[in-house]
Amino acid sequence: MSISGIMQLRQNFFIIILFFGMVLSGVIFLNNIQNSCKQQKIEQVVIKPKWKQKTFGLRSLPGLLYNQASVLVGSRTDVASVTPWSAPIIWEGTFDPILIDSIYKQHNLTIATTVFALGKYTRFVKDFLESAEQHYFVGFRVHYYLFTDQPESIPEVKIGEKRNLTVLKVQSLKRWQDISMSRMEKLEKLIENELANKADYIFCLDIDTKFYGRWGVESLGRLVGVIHPWFFDAPRDRFTYERRPESQAYIPAGEGDFYYAGAAFGGLLEDVHQLTKTCREKLLIDAANSIEAVWQEESHLNKYFLLNKPSKLLSPEYMWRDINEKADQIKVIRFSNVAKNYAEVRPNP
Amino acid sequence: MTLLRQNFIIILVFFGMVLSGLIYLNHNQCRCNQKMKEQGIINGGTDETIHPRKSRCNQQITEQGITNLEWKQNTFGLRSSPGLLYNQQSALVGSRTDVASVTSWSAPIIWEGTFDSTLIDSIYKQQNLTIATTAFALGKYVRFVKDFLESAEQHYFVGFRVHYYLFTDQPELVPEVKMGENRSLTVLKVQSLKRWQDISMSRMEKLEKLIESELASEANYIFCLDIDTKFYGRWGVESLGRLVGVIHPWLYDTSRDKFTYERSPKSQAYIPAGEGDYYYAGGAFGGSLEDVYHLTKTCREQMSIDAANSIEAVWQEESHLNKYFLLNKPSKLLSPEYMWRDINASAAQIKIVRFTNVPKNYAEIRPNP
């Protein structure tokens, strides 16, 4: 090889080495940026579970016909149809079912619905499910989640198209108060693990109940509470809130909007997750302080709703005393407790 | 030079380009993550770090779609401060028995007495909101700016962060108005227009563009108001909602077939007899940025179609607004207290006049009849 040939080669070598040197430093540089960026991302607060996207407006179909509502005449003059924070209160006559069904049908919704049937309470499942199939979100997609300690005792119930039932086995518990309170944690976990991407709304209902009238999309909202059937015309100082300051559920006299029923609440997955998580945490703190709120998780629910106002309230039509009981303002009984012998059906007094 | 050397140089240049490309991309990624961080995808309390969101941001950059605007997150619940005291409201006695306080699709209608201002101020103060507020003052309408802004500073979202956007063709004529803390005014110059109808209608497009380019990640809510008006009473957080319409002050006690909807089937704003919920005022509407963006975009598109068909709706963009609200129900309605006829006009149901048209000589002030 000639000398100039060797020089050429050496030059080439240098060029190559220089080039690789640049590449190397470039790669190191990039990696640094990458790392600091990732660092930022990780430090960055909270990336929450991916909730199913809520992008609905209230789209109405062109050409849909229904009566005009007056601006000056409320449809119900014997009840309040809105709260002081402008959340609607749903009573018969305050909504147009044709209009709202048409609005919500466009959204392909899934409504998760949870109930707990432990011990002798499994006897209520059949009526609950059969009546729900008749009245509850008819025509919409509903997924029931039934928690029970005796899956084999669950009867076959014919469930409509687009609706299904998942039975989840849980441990038996000895005290009915514990059964009641443990629901919060089960719900929190269910939402986290199962529902986050699958349902749009969730309702959590008591099982010892039955549907007698329409329960539909008028009940949907971000955070929904039901006014307790025994306290809707009581002054707030008669509400059976937890009154001991030692409990996390404590609400002092002079405070409180409504007394909400623990037997029915619901809303968006995200909001109900926050509710169940908070209640579960507060129940735990109380337990650690050896205190049990007067109405168990219902007391904690009421505390939660005091500090986190529901965006919609359902009247006691949606959680009534008994099908045979009447009250002037209750024009339709939609969902009600069923008569039972508490001494016989509960595992403990 | 030998072929080999040439090849070497080519390869070198190639790798150099690849490298700078990589550096550029990564820089973008990082900026993107930066943006995500600034957006604050912040949850109200859960502290779970699950599956970092993968490349949604990159997707945005590559997709170049208007549909991928990053809206400021409205993740609020209605959190109330512990210990706040206010009267109990009965479930059986409505606070107003002379008016409807809810629509047939369960949207609240806001009247004096139907809300507790102490309570809701306390709820919304926790949310660090920004309310964008737009007005247009072209031609002689610039004379209304002073009263509008001064009265707004007295009554409109007092104590909250408000950013006014004033569109005008004569920025030099906009007077100095003292603004409270946390309140600002941006003056935007626009072209003059010869017809008042065109001035009115062009607002939709300007609003659409404003939201797209400026507001999407800066404000939580927006209200779009007429300028020939004045505030006389509280206009506060009770008016906030996803999509908010105001019931027209002249048409709240009327049957739907008397509403001045556009009645020609040739127009996109057409509403046939027998349909319609309320007649909404074009002088005030609002809501979340995303929803108002969709509204203004749709109205602008529909007006374009009408123009192409040589038709102008009877009440210009107000007709299109009404069509929009028929098909996209507002989530909240404001009573005519929020857009009244005149401070000196009264009506039994109007217990307080909050915002109203001011008297004017239309012949003198409009650029055309």
The answer to whether the Cβ–Cβ distance between A30 and B108 falls below 8 Å is no
The answer to whether the Cβ–Cβ distance between A309 and B77 falls below 8 Å is yes
d(CA B89, CA B288): 29
A342 touches B: beta carbon within 8 Å: no
Q: Among A192, A189, A147, which residue's Cα sits nearest to residue A168?
A: A147
Domain ranges of chain B: 115-365
B127 touches A: beta carbon within 8 Å: no
Contact B189, B155 (CB under 8 A): no
DSSP character at residue B169:
S
Q: Which of A70, A77, A85 sits opposite B78 (nearest CB)?
A: A85
Write down how long chain A is.
349
Q: What is the DSSP string of B255-314?
A: -GGGS--B--TTSTTB--TT--S-PEEEEEEEEEHHHHHHHHHHHHHHHHHHHHTT---T
Mean pLDDT rounded to a whole number for chain A: 89
The pLDDT tens digits along chain A (349 residues) read 566 777 778 777 777 777 777 777 777 777 766 665 554 444 433 334 556 655 567 888 888 888 888 888 888 989 999 999 999 999 999 999 999 999 999 888 999 999 999 999 999 999 999 999 999 999 999 999 999 999 999 999 999 999 999 999 999 988 888 888 899 999 999 999 988 889 999 999 999 999 999 999 999 999 999 999 999 999 999 999 999 999 999 999 999 999 999 999 999 999 999 999 999 999 999 999 999 999 999 999 999 999 999 999 999 999 999 999 999 999 999 999 999 888 888 888 8
At B279, the amino acid letter reads Y
Is A298 tagged catalytic?
A: yes
For residue B36, the chain A residues in CB contact (below 8 A) are: 41, 44
**CA torsion A24→A28→A34→A38, rounded to 10°?**
140
Q: Rounded to a whole number, what is the distance in angstroms from the first to the last CA of chain B?
A: 81
Domain ranges of chain A: 95-345
Q: What is the pTM of this model?
A: 0.82
DSSP character at residue A82:
B
The pLDDT tens digits along chain B (369 residues) read 577 777 777 777 777 777 777 776 666 655 555 444 433 333 332 333 323 333 344 333 333 333 456 676 555 678 887 778 888 888 888 889 899 999 999 999 999 999 999 999 999 998 899 999 999 999 999 999 999 999 999 999 999 999 999 999 999 999 999 999 999 999 999 999 888 888 888 999 999 999 998 887 889 999 999 999 999 999 999 999 999 999 999 999 999 999 999 999 999 999 999 999 999 999 999 999 999 999 999 999 999 999 999 999 999 999 999 999 999 999 999 999 999 999 999 999 999 999 999 998 888 888 888
**Residue B134: its H or E element:** strand B130-137
3-state secondary structure labels for all residues of A200-252: CEEEEECCCEEECCCECHHHCCCEEEEECCCCCCCCHHHCCCECCCCCCCECC
The whole-number pLDDT of residue A44 equals 39
Contact B312, B197 (CB under 8 A): yes
- pLDDT tens across A21-73, in order? 777 777 777 776 666 555 444 443 333 455 665 556 788 888 888 888 888 88
A318 touches B: beta carbon within 8 Å: no
Binding positions of B for UDP-N-acetyl-alpha-D-galactosamine are 141, 226-228
Write down how long chain B is.
369
The answer to whether the Cβ–Cβ distance between B106 and A95 falls below 8 Å is yes
Distances (CA, A) of A348 to A52, A116, A283, A340: 40, 17, 20, 15
Q: Among A181, A178, A199, which residue's Cα sits nearest to residue A190?
A: A199
DSSP character at residue A196:
T
The whole-number pLDDT of residue B74 equals 57
ipTM above 0.85, yes or no: no
Q: Which of A29, A45, A47 sits opposite B50 (nearest CB)?
A: A47
Catalytic residue among A43, A298, A317, A344: A298
The answer to whether the Cβ–Cβ distance between A15 and B91 falls below 8 Å is no
d(CA A283, CA A181): 8
Q: Which CATH superfamily is domain A95-345 in?
A: Spore Coat Polysaccharide Biosynthesis Protein SpsA; Chain A (3.90.550.10)
The answer to whether the Cβ–Cβ distance between A309 and B123 falls below 8 Å is yes
The whole-number pLDDT of residue A43 equals 41
The whole-number pLDDT of residue B39 equals 37
Q: Per CATH, the architecture of B115-365 is what?
A: Alpha-Beta Complex (3.90)
Q: Among B142, B211, B150, which residue's Cα sits nearest to residue B174?
A: B142
B3 touches A: beta carbon within 8 Å: no
A35 touches B: beta carbon within 8 Å: no
Q: Could you give the residue ranges of the DSSP H alpha helices within chain B?
A: 3-39, 56-63, 117-125, 145-155, 196-210, 289-308, 316-327, 362-365
B119 touches A: beta carbon within 8 Å: yes
